[in-house]
Structure 1
C-alpha cells in the first residue's frame, strides 16, 4: 500500500501545479497514479476504490489535515 500512497502524493502535487482544480485535477491525478502503477506492473494489486482513497489521503495530507 505504501507504493500507491507515495505515487498518490506525487500525483496530487503534480495535479495541483498543472491544473486549476476540480474534477479535471482529480481525474488527472487518478490517471497519473494508474499510469505509474501500470509501469511498475502493480496495477492489478489495487482496486479503483483503493486508488481513489489514496488520492483523497494525499489531498488530506497536503492540506495539513493529517
Structure 2
C-alpha cells in the first residue's frame, strides 16, 4: 500500500501497522501508555490470531499502563 520512499506520516500509522501485524508472527509491546498506538497494533495482531507479548512495567509509570493492561487481559 505504500512505496518504500513514502514518508512515515502520522496519519498512515494505523494502515502501516495493520500490514506489519498481519505479516508478523508475533507482536511485542515494550512500552505503551494506556491508550497508546502500540495497543492498536497489538489488537490488530490479536485479531489476526498472531501472538502478542507485553513487557510488564512499574504500576506508577504512565508508559507502562498499556503493557500492564495487556497482561491483565
TM-score of the alignment, normalized to the shorter chain, above 0.5: no
TM-score tier after normalising by the smaller chain length: 0.3 to 0.5
Larger Rg: 2
TM-score (norm. length: structure 1): 0.35
Compare the two structures and name the one with the higher helix fraction: 1
Compare the two structures and name the one with the higher strand fraction: 2
